[in-house]
Structure 1
Amino acid sequence: GTQGFLAGWMSWFAHAVACSLYGLGFGRFAVEIIGLFAPAVHENAHTLTLIIMAVIVALFAYINYRGASETGLVGNIVTIAKVIILGVFIAFGIAAMFRRPDLNVFTESFMPHGIAGVFVAMGLTFIAFEGYEIIAQSGEEVKDPYRNIPRAIFLSLVIVVIIYVLVAVVAIGAVIVPAEAGSLPVWDYLAEAKEVAIVRAAEQIMGGWGGILILISGLASTMSALNATIYSSSRVSFAMGRDHNLPEVFGRIHPKMKTPYWAVAISAVLVVVMAFSLPIDEVAKAADVMFLFMFAQVNITLMTLRRRRPDLERGFFVPLFPWPAVVGFVTNMALAVFLSIETGRVGLVTVGWLAGGMLLYWGYFRGKEEMERPSEVIHEETVASVKYSVLLPVADEAHASQLARFGCLLAKEYDGEVLALNVVTVPPSLKLSDGRLFLKEGRLPLERVIEVARKMDVPVHTMIRLGRAVSEAIVKTAVENSSDFILFGWPGMSGAHDRLFGSVIDYVVANPPADIGIVRFHPVGKINRILVPIAGGPNGRLALSLALALARNTEEDTKVIMVHVLPTGADPTAGQARAENAFRHALN
């Protein structure tokens, strides 16, 4: 839908712009290293930076085309090395700060650009925190994701904030502005150095070798980030092409390499065009604006899911909901709009990208998406139309036969059918039509139902359905087929203290599209007696009618026993009258 397209459209643009930023940073660091041996290159630093950027982007695009990726071991080594280098820088910086006679730099000219400058800084540094959402995106490969993903996100944010704050403090507190730079404040001196500001700080704090160390760390950082963002931007555009939200060429897979080669190539071209057309500071601002819009959308999604899908199992509940989401949405949108206005050309580019995307979607891709939308029902065998239908959601062979027996007994009473449904759950990371790969597994429990139905001479209707959530698929099937009764199987436990029967049954019971019965799975032989507790409530009549329907259609001489329980100390005469009244109400 519109929200999904907008999220993908913004993500593709934002990751491409971020990739441009990392490419330019790599090029600038490379020029600095080359300049150590050939100082003359600084005369054409900008041009050489762009050339190196284009080469490194093309290199990593080719690596992604080949299907190679950074292994976990290499990634861990690079990350640990970067943290160690920054730790050394922080240690030398703190030592240098203590050697200064005063630290008036932290008290003089506090907030020199006012509150507006603070907001601009907040927006510009937002991109530095972009990336922790990848932890959630890799959820299917994480052990115990409900526990580990929230912990990993919070832990990574805490570590990153501590490192960022310490680096900023020592850079401002330990650096002394050289005499040739004039009377500039230290923050303006570092700002003029732009992407190599920390290199200049390291050269002053640690000596010449400190600058080289930071340059090596910068090269490693930008290379790993470049590889990751080329991968993510190309995969986002590939997924959009596969879902008909972009031209189909984006969704093509190379027959040999098994990679989305067109999506990789087009995304790489977009990255280079961004880098050549916008200065690095504006590139960073454009990426910040897009990421701010994306995370504002995440807060909207959080509130929507909590309202529409309260049944979902969650590893972490946002405290004080919905206020954190509301505050997050308002602050993200406010910073995005503020930066868009302040940055002029980049703000226009961002608005133009969003407006262009929505025009393309509403004008063409929305219709294409609807035409190509895969059918949720991938297998269905029907019988002649009947007046009564018992829906049996079956998940496995082990319990399908037992559930089918009870379903057939009820269907037989009303000359109806059993509708055996198997739902194939397709994770969000896969296209819905990919669930067809599990068609064979879905047939097995249905075959057990067919066997039982044939023995009992009851018409059977089978269906395999794709869905993101089993509960929603069951409700949708019941509504579409006008089912009269839904019979669930239940293992006898819910798996959670706040569930009665489990997430699936509880969801359907909360808004039932038909009458519902629940069969607890345990070995059942002959059905000699059926006990029906009668309290006089509105469901007593239904319970008794079901018991009678079962009893009339069993092979045994089944008896139905009604029971009314009196509380301790109740008057026997009044209790007898109450029980007889409840029985009459249930029988009428």
Structure 2
Amino acid sequence: MTDSTTQGPILVPIANPETADQLVSTAADIATDTGRPLEVLTVIRVPEQVPLSEGERLVTDEREILDYAADLVSDPAIQVSSRIRFARSIASGILSVAEEQGIETILMGWRGRPRRRDIILGSHLDQVLRKASCDVLVKRMDGDEELQQILLPVAGGPNTKLAATVAGSLARVHDAEIRVIVVHSPNETTDTRDEKETMLEGVIGGFTGVPVITQEIVESDSVGDTIVDQSKDVDLVVLGATSEDLFRRSVIGSLPEQVGRRSASSVLMVKEHRNIPSRLTRFISHLRREILRF
């Protein structure tokens, strides 16, 4: 649970200096712990009526922002590169760079604004979360935090391992405590409770090099309320996406979204890449075989 399962580059899209500090700092922490390179990116949206080849004339202070972001990485052992991409949309620019450069993790910032119609986290974020062929981390910033305590909720979901991996990296770099919690709901079955507690044991047993690890099992009518309440006593909440919708109607899951908007601390939501199309293809093939049997 502690070592990164991927060693490819971490891509950090930067829009302005206000978000650069925390995003690059978090990415650099993970890179320091795992020995991975960083790619800092600014995407300039080029209107449809303007050829992409003429995008250079739209550049203003983006190069200075990239230089500033790259200079934030103080560890000389971290390989840092930066680039500007001209694209028709911010999301398409991020996704194309991720594909071309073999990116294995994208770290993006989020302001935690309320939903707008069908937009969940934000138009760019939603598209990247839906389409990226790599892991995606989304950080809701809450000012400059001194990372001393990290809250890691464990619900047994598909992204728990990645959440634990990221939390472990940050804890080791900052010499921080990790508080691992499991929240049981009154209507849960015994099997569900056992599964979550087994996952808890696996997470705890998988950590190495973390100075302090505490664990707690909580009974509550509301998992989200409990996590939000406990966020008051920590500097960062790291939790995995819960969405497993086969047709990708949700980008992160209702619980992480709820916690992300209401948490008293910064929040880092993680979503591991899964080859959903191939799973769908296997499901359709299985369904066809079953139909042919009758």
TM range (shorter): 0.5 to 0.7
Q: Deviations over 1:186-243 (max 9, x none)?
A: xxxxxxxxxxxxxxxxxxxxxxxxxxxxxxxxxxxxxxxxxxxxxxxxxxxxxxxxxx
Aligned counterpart, 1:394: 14
Distance in 2 of aligned mates of 1:574 and 1:416:
38
TM-score with structure 2 length normalisation? 0.62
Q: How does 1:302-313 map to 2 (within 5 A)?
A: none
1:563 aligns with 2:151: no
User: Residue type matched to 2:176 in 1?
Assistant: T
Distance in 2 of aligned mates of 1:489 and 1:427:
24
Structure 1 residue 456, shift from structure 2 partner: 6.7
Aligned counterpart, 2:107: 487
Distance in 2 of aligned mates of 1:388 and 1:580:
32
Structure 1 residue 443, shift from structure 2 partner: 1.2
Q: Tell me: CA distance 1:558–1:475, structure 2 relative to 1, closer, same or farther (3 Å).
A: same
Q: Tell me: CA distance 1:432–1:495, structure 2 relative to 1, closer, same or farther (3 Å).
A: farther
1:412 aligns with 2:32: yes
| Aligned mate of 2:138, from 501, 518, 535 | 518
Structure 1 residue 429, shift from structure 2 partner: 2.1
Structure 1 residue 585, shift from structure 2 partner: 4.4
Aligned counterpart, 1:583: 200
Distance in 1 of aligned mates of 2:113 and 2:72:
26
Q: Deviations over 1:439-463 (max 9, x none)?
A: 3421132122212113575221101
Q: Secondary structure at the match of 2:39?
A: strand
Structure 1 residue 534, shift from structure 2 partner: 1.0
Aligned counterpart, 1:548: 168
User: Residue type matched to 1:544 in 2?
Assistant: A
Structure 1 residue 568, shift from structure 2 partner: 3.0
Identity across matched positions, percent: 26
Distance in 1 of aligned mates of 2:56 and 2:100:
21
Structure 1 residue 521, shift from structure 2 partner: 2.1
User: Residue type matched to 1:567 in 2?
Assistant: S
Bigger CA radius of gyration: 1
Q: Is the 8 A contact 1:536 1:585 kept in 2?
A: no
Q: Secondary structure at the match of 1:493?
A: coil
Q: Is the 8 A contact 2:32 2:75 kept in 1?
A: no
| Aligned mate of 2:155, from 535, 540, 547 | 535
Q: Deviations over 1:383-408 (max 9, x none)?
A: xxx95310001111111111000010
User: Residue type matched to 1:450 in 2?
Assistant: A
Instruction: After superposing the two structures, state which structure 1 stretch, 462-471 or 516-525, moved more.
Output: 516-525
Distance in 1 of aligned mates of 2:36 and 2:68:
19
* Higher fraction of strand: 2
How big is the alpha-carbon RMSD for the aligned residues of Structure 1 and Structure 2?
A: 2.3
Distance in 2 of aligned mates of 1:455 and 1:523:
22
Unaligned ranges ≥5, structure 2? 1-5, 207-294
Distance in 1 of aligned mates of 2:178 and 2:34:
19
Aligned counterpart, 1:93: none
Aligned counterpart, 1:500: 120
| Aligned mate of 1:453, from 73, 77, 89 | 73
* Higher fraction of helix: 1
Q: How does 1:355-394 map to 2 (within 5 A)?
A: 387-394=7-14
| Alignment size in residue pairs | 200
Q: Secondary structure at the match of 2:73?
A: helix
Q: Deviations over 1:82-105 (max 9, x none)?
A: xxxxxxxxxxxxxxxxxxxxxxxx
Q: How does 1:242-261 map to 2 (within 5 A)?
A: none
Distance in 2 of aligned mates of 1:535 and 1:575:
9
User: Residue type matched to 1:417 in 2?
Assistant: P
Q: Secondary structure at the match of 2:117?
A: coil
Distance in 2 of aligned mates of 1:391 and 1:514:
10
Q: Secondary structure at the match of 2:48?
A: coil
Distance in 1 of aligned mates of 2:177 and 2:193:
22
Aligned counterpart, 2:271: none
Distance in 2 of aligned mates of 1:475 and 1:576:
38
Aligned counterpart, 1:467: 87
User: Residue type matched to 1:423 in 2?
Assistant: V
Q: Secondary structure at the match of 1:454?
A: coil
Q: Tell me: CA distance 1:457–1:494, structure 2 relative to 1, closer, same or farther (3 Å).
A: farther
Question: Runs (4+) of structure 1 moved beyond 6 Å?
Answer: 573-576
Q: Tell me: CA distance 1:404–1:472, structure 2 relative to 1, closer, same or farther (3 Å).
A: same
Q: How does 1:412-431 map to 2 (within 5 A)?
A: 412-431=32-51
Q: Is the 8 A contact 1:487 1:516 kept in 2?
A: yes
Q: Is the 8 A contact 2:103 2:134 kept in 1?
A: yes
Q: Secondary structure at the match of 2:94?
A: helix
